[in-house]
Amino acid sequence: MMNAIETIIENEKDESLRIIAQKVINQKRISKQDGLLLFERGSLSFLGALANAVRERLHGDRTYFNRNFHIEPTNVCVFSCKFCSYSRLYAHKEEGWELSTEQMMDIVKKYDGKPVTEVHIVGGVHPKMNLDFFADLLRKIKAHRPDLHIKGFTAVELDYMFRKAKMTTEEGLRFLKEAGLDSLPGGGAEIFDEKIREQICADKVSSEGWLDIHGTAHKLGMHTNATMLYGHLESYEHRIDHMDRLRSLQDETKGFNTFIPLKFRNHDNEMSHIPEVSVIEDLRLYAIARLYMDNFPHLKAYWPMLGRQNAQLTLSFGVNDIDGTIDDSTKIYSMAGSEEQNPAMSTAELVTLINQAGRKAIERDTLYNEVRDYSTVPLQELSANPELN
Ligand code: V47
Ligand code: SF4
């Protein structure tokens, strides 16, 4: 008897798609041409069924989240990415914020006694917040709370810091690692195609520079994430090229944990005239990402950007991670027009969202070690326990 996935392949009329599906089922790598064909011709149901088969082979129903909070040191930024709704140019810094080390430590102290496992530190690129400033912050956070995993600074921030400090990437990363930096988030990748990059974020780290920083971090034993900003000027070819460059680096280093597609949100930025892509296009992209990025263990839907209901849908299209509680500590997406204006979810809400999609909620730490399996915890117990809110 045929199983569900075999039936779907059998019923697919397009022979080229059937051949690609067979490769996926046989755990063979799909090519750039295959990826492109999936974008051009794959229906939502076909892509979803295949991506779901891969997701279940890798993770079963396990769906990860973590308990985390963000620190955004500043939204003053020397760069001028056209899609950014968040930054205030240095010349207009009265509209922005700049947190002192004490203010950032107050944020960390707010979580004393609370079971968060990660702080995510990302912000604009402020000309006065240099390598020493951030190394001092990292040391203070670690001294206060040694068990907290610090995932911090995009390759954009690091590239600027290291150049100003006249350090090589390796020297700079070693210095920050020594000070307490544990891993790097995936931001700043945008789209690697040089022509599109020139049009949307000409003045910040190049694609080569981004990949070099992540590759170097991997060689130093640090794990990192990777993002892709989609749904603006890029074509399907550009998406495949972006994923292909990441897949090749991952073949070499094995240092990436998670791929995070980020949907372009068009509120209040210089690209506001570009309409946002549909949810169908989001789901197709997540599914193709799961199929193409065969050496990335995890695929994350970042709910503050996508909205919680759409993030929930992605759990049937290859996604196995939904980020964390966040606790209303980030402004990047509310300023870009996300429906999540005050992004915060309690553990009970996150677990419910995952359960409703028919999956098992597993709390993880940043490196995907299991903290707690919530699939057996009754919901009443979750909601009644204030520690979990
Ligand atoms: O690089 C900025 C994106 C990124 C917009 O590693 C926008 O776990 C959509 O990288 N529409 C920063 N996206 C955030 C980031 C991230 C977020 C969550 C988790 C992790 C992780 C990393 O935000 C930027 C840029 O690609 N961004 N403006 C916008 N209008
Ligand atoms: Fe600055 Fe980052 Fe915004 Fe670009 S996306 S302008 S680097 S804050």
Residue 382 has a pLDDT of 73
Residue 329 has a pLDDT of 65
* For ligand 2, atom 2: residue with the closest CA: 124
Kindly give the distance from the C-alpha atom of residue 84 to the centroid of ligand 2, in angstroms, as a whole number.
Answer: 6
Kindly identify the ligand whose nearest atom is closest to the C-alpha of 262.
1
Residue 304 has a pLDDT of 86
Give the model confidence (pLDDT) of 133-161 as tens digits: 999 999 999 999 999 999 999 999 999 99
Residue 332 has a pLDDT of 65
Q: Is 122 near ligand 2, meaning CB less than 6 Å away? A: no
Look at the pTM and tell me if it is higher than 0.75. yes
Architecture of domain 63-344: Alpha-Beta Barrel (3.20)
Residue 286 has a pLDDT of 98
Residue 10 has a pLDDT of 81
DSSP state of 204: S
In which residue ranges of the chain is pLDDT below 70? 1-2, 88-95, 328-329, 331-333, 386-389
* For ligand 2, atom 7: residue with the closest CA: 79
CA distance linking residue 74 with residue 95, whole number of Å: 11
Mapped onto helix, strand or coil, the DSSP state of residue 272 is: coil
Chain CA centroid to CA 162, Å: 23
Pocket probe mutation, ligand 2, options 153, 190, 204, max atoms within 8 Å of Cβ:
204
CA distance linking residue 110 with residue 135, whole number of Å: 21
Mapped onto helix, strand or coil, the DSSP state of residue 190 is: coil
Ligand 2 atom at shortest distance from the alpha carbon of 156: 7
Residue 387 has a pLDDT of 61
Q: Enumerate the domain spans of the chain.
A: 2-58, 63-344
CA distance linking residue 12 with residue 48, whole number of Å: 13
Which H helix or E strand runs over 121? Answer: strand 118-121
Instruction: Give the percent of the chain with pLDDT over 90.
Output: 80
Q: Is 332 near ligand 1, meaning CB less than 6 Å away? A: yes
Pocket probe mutation, ligand 2, options 83, 85, 86, 262, max atoms within 8 Å of Cβ:
86
